[in-house]
Structure 1
Amino acid sequence: MIRFRLYTIAAGLSLFLLGGCSEVTEPTPLTYSQLLTGKEKKTWSLVSFEVIDEGEGSGTIPANNLFNGACEADDQFVFYANAERKYEFINGPTKCSSSEPDVLLTDSWNFTNANATLEFAFPVLSTGKLPFIVKSLSETSMTIEIYLDDIQGIDASYRFTLSSSSTK
C-alpha cells in the first residue's frame, strides 16, 4: 500500500513537472531572399568593386570611379519581396537632369539556392538579366560576382559590394 502511494505521488509529480515545461523556440534564420528583400522591399547602393583577372585582384575600388558624376553614383537597386519578385533601378537623391524619371529600370529578380545565383539587371554592366554568384549576404551588406570565363575563354570576374540601410 505504501509502495502504491509512492508510485502515485511520483507519477503525479512527474506529470506536474512535465506539464510545466515549455518548448524553447529558437529564432529562424533569415533566408537569402529575406536578407535580399526584407519583409516588403530593400534598397541597396553600390559601394565598391574589384576586377579579378587570372586570379589576381585589383584591390577594392570605390564605386564612384565607375561613374561620370555623383548623379549616377547614388542610384539604387530595390528588391521587392512580392510574388512577382519585382526589381527596380532608381535614381538616388541626385538626378542627372530634372526631366530624368525616378525609376530608371523595372524588371524582376531570381535567386537559385543550389548555386547561390542571383539573376537581375545590373545597369552598370547591362540592362538585361545577368547571373551573379552571391559571395556573401547579410542584412546590411552583399557581395556579388560575375564571371566572364564563358565569354571567349576570358579568366576574369567583376566583384561588386552593395550596402543597404533601407528596409521595409
Structure 2
Amino acid sequence: MRHLIRFLLIPGIVGWLLGGCSQKLEPQPFTYSQLLTGTDKKAWKMVSIQVIDNGKASGVIPVAQSGIDPCIYDDLLTFYADAEHKFEASEGATKCNPTDADLYLTDTWTLINANATLQFYIPVLNGIYPWTIKNLTSTVLTVQYYFTDIDASYQFTFNSVTTK
C-alpha cells in the first residue's frame, strides 16, 4: 500500500498543486506583414543604396550622397495592414514640381513568405519589382533586387518614419 501511495498519489497531488498555480503565456511573434505595416499602416523612407556588380559591392551609400535627386529619394512609402494590401507613395519634404500632389501613387503590395519576396513600388526605379527581403525589423527594411540577365543587384534600406 505504501508503494501505491508513493508512486501514484504523491506525484499526482504535487503535480496538481504546481500545475494549478501557473498561467500559460504564449508569445505573439510579429509576422513579416505586421513588421511591415504595423497594426494599421506604416510609412518608410529610403536611407541607403548599395549596388552589387559581379559579386563586388559598392559599399553602403547614404541616399543623400548617391546623386539621386532629393525630390525622389525623400518620398514616403506607406504600407497598409488592410485586406487589400493598400500601398501609397507620397511626396516627402522636397517636391520635384511644387504643383505636384502630395499623394502620387496608390497601388498594392504583395508579400510571399515562402521566399521572403515583397513586391512594391520604389520611386528611384519608378517601377514595381519583386524584392527579396534581406532584413525586416520594426524600424528597418532592407530589400534586394537580383537582375535576371546580368550578375548584378540593387539593395535599398528604408527606415520607418510613422506607425499606426
TM range (shorter): 0.7 to 0.9
Q: What is aligned with 1:166? A: 162
Structure 1 residue ranges, 4+ long, deviating more than 6 angstroms after superposition:
none
- Tell me by how many angstroms 1:13 deviates: 6.0
Local SS of the residue matching 2:129: strand
What percent identity do the matched residue pairs reach? 46
Partner of 2:151: 155
In structure 2, relative to structure 1, the CA distance for the partners of 1:66 and 1:43 (3 Å cut) is: farther
| Distance verdict in 2 for CA 1:14–1:123, change over 3 Å | closer
Matching residue of 1:90: 90
Match of residue 20 from structure 1: 21
Q: Secondary structure at the match of 1:36?
A: helix
Greater alpha carbon shift after TM alignment, 88-97 vs 117-126: 88-97
2:82 partner letter: N
Cα distance in structure 1, aligned partners of 2:121 and 2:161: 21
What is the deviation of 1:45? Answer: 0.4
Aligned residues: 159
Equivalences for residues 1-168 of structure 1 within 5 A: 10=10, 15-23=16-24, 25-64=25-64, 65-68=66-69, 70-127=70-127, 129-148=128-147, 150=148, 153-168=149-164
Distance 1:137 1:49 in 2: 16
Structure 1 letter corresponding to 2:145 = I
Deviations 1:51-81, CA, capped at 9 Å, x for gaps: 100000011112122422x333321110000
- Separation (CA, whole Å) in 2 of partners of 1:66 and 1:83: 37
CA distance in 1, matches of 2:118, 2:87: 12
- CA drift of 1:114 comes to 0.8
Give the drift of 1:111.
0.4
Distance 1:13 1:96, change over 3 A: same
Conservation of the 8 A alpha-carbon contact between 2:73 and 2:123: no
Q: What displacement does 1:94 show?
A: 2.9
In 2, Cα distance between equivalents of 1:63 and 1:164: 15
Q: Partners of 1:50 and 1:15 in 2: how far apart? A: 59
Does the 8 A contact of 2:73 with 2:124 survive in 1? no
Q: What is the CA-CA distance between 1:165 and the residue it aligns to?
A: 3.1
Distance 1:110-1:14 versus aligned 2 partners, 3 A rule: closer
Shift of 1:12: 5.6
- Is the Cα contact below 8 Å between 2:72 and 2:123 reproduced in 1? no
CA distance in 2, matches of 1:60, 1:26: 39
- Contact between 2:143 and 2:157, CA under 8 Å: does it hold in 1? yes
Separation (CA, whole Å) in 1 of partners of 2:131 and 2:94: 27
